[in-house]
A and B are shown apart, each in its own frame.
Chain A
């Protein structure tokens, strides 16, 4: 408990952009992150990139996690990044996961995604990536 008191919990947003309604994965990650001491803001299903970005800014999160199982990730994930940028949130890292073919991963990383997870990625690795992204973000913010 003493450790928790010294360190402020990282805040992350888990969002589901687009039309797909399968949120088991998103909820699983949200719970796993909570169990690791993260404060997780969950937006629910079927959100636009703009809604997710605006929420991330209001909630002042350290990272955004996106889940997509519909195949629209190549359009939706980078859209969230550009919506964040438009709102002055270019410093907030975006991580993505879902049903994502291996050949799309490089393109997403080049588009600015910090990490991409597929159905085979162990939860431990996902949490590690979030911790890393949040730590980097919080360290850049000398006020925290």
Chain B
């Protein structure tokens, strides 16, 4: 089959053709020639209208199962939904097993549920760039709510979550020390704390603990920030969605959403700057091996780079 042109892909996106959506995302993920044409032609207004949810939390907390129940609830409201499911790449082989699909197969034949699995591909922040592009492609293809799901452990995951308008942190009773480790980072950026598997012992204690952490945010706008669910039993989902909607309209009205989007775009731009400069600096380092202190060497490389640019 001949490769479709970026024009054909764009027409496909408007038709909400699954093949075109898949190909468009691959084009940006692989940094291929047509990526720029596709991205620059996307409908900006559609992108501004959508809601981007970030779902994060430790492995096994129930992120994918919760995502699947949220999809079901949104589909009842006839909303078209996009999901970007992120899993880590192996640092050794570069390969990955993308298994979040398993919990979402109920929606496999629903053409209004667009799922894309993405591996982190070991790039420094580079994923943030391709995930951001995937969000915009899905928006252009008519998705109204887009969910980014990722394991919340490392810095790169924190960066991805910044793409979201609203971030949900999923925990489950019995994770103890993991939660301690996360307190400093992700809990601060999370808008909601969802205690999933809340039928298990220890859920109430965990909720009380988290209420403390989220008290300040809660007092500011009066929206309940710590919620309990049993995703596998479809319990607590209505409450959760109501709270998300309340916060979404609050963020929209107060201009916080626009501000977050603005910051996310800056972060993505920075990602691209690094991504595009990297090959030139790798080349410069190979051409001129050095043994001095890495910080000094870096400054020299940048100095040389900017003089060359200036002379040109």
Q: What residues make up the interface of A, taking CB atoms closer than 8 Å to B?
A: 1-2, 4-5, 8-9, 11, 30-31, 33-44, 47, 50-51, 54-55, 57-60, 87-91, 140-144
Q: Is the CB of B19 within 8 A of A57?
A: yes
- Interface CB pairs A-B, < 8 A, 28: A30-B97, A34-B97, A35-B93, A35-B95, A39-B96, A39-B117, A40-B95, A40-B98, A41-B98, A42-B98, A42-B101, A44-B101, A47-B105, A50-B108, A54-B18, A55-B108, A55-B115, A57-B18, A58-B116, A59-B22, A59-B116, A87-B18, A90-B1, A91-B1, A142-B3, A143-B3, A143-B27, A144-B30
B261 contacts the other chain (CB 8 A):
no
Q: Is the CB of A60 within 8 A of B26?
A: yes
Q: Is the CB of A34 within 8 A of B93?
A: yes
In the assembled complex, the CB of A79 is this many whole angstroms from the nearest CB of chain B, namely 14
Q: Is the CB of A59 within 8 A of B29?
A: no
In the assembled complex, the CB of B4 is this many whole angstroms from the nearest CB of chain A, namely 8
For window 1-33 of chain B, which residues contact chain A by CB distance below 8 Å?
A: 1, 3, 17-19, 21-23, 25-27, 29-33
B122 contacts the other chain (CB 8 A):
yes
Q: Is the CB of A9 within 8 A of B26?
A: no
Given A39-B119, A50-B109, 15 additional A-B pairs, CB 8 A: A4-B122, A9-B95, A40-B96, A42-B101, A42-B102, A43-B102, A43-B108, A44-B99, A51-B105, A55-B101, A55-B105, A57-B22, A58-B114, A89-B19, A143-B27
- Bound Cα distance from A141 to B9, whole angstroms: 13
Q: In which size bucket is the chain B interface?
A: 35 or more
Q: Is the CB of A31 within 8 A of B97?
A: yes
B306 contacts the other chain (CB 8 A):
no
Contacts A9-B121, A35-B93, A58-B21 given; does A144 touch B98 at CB 8 Å: no
For window 77-128 of chain B, which residues contact chain A by CB distance below 8 Å?
A: 89-90, 92-99, 101-102, 105, 108-109, 114-117, 119, 121-123
- Bound Cα distance from A140 to B99, whole angstroms: 27
B26, B90, B109: which contacts A144 (Cβ < 8 A)? B26
B34 contacts the other chain (CB 8 A):
yes
Q: Is the CB of A34 within 8 A of B99?
A: no
In the assembled complex, the CB of B220 is this many whole angstroms from the nearest CB of chain A, namely 39
Q: Inside 8 A of A33's CB, which chain B residues have their CB? A: 95
Q: Inside 8 A of B25's CB, which chain A residues have their CB? A: 60
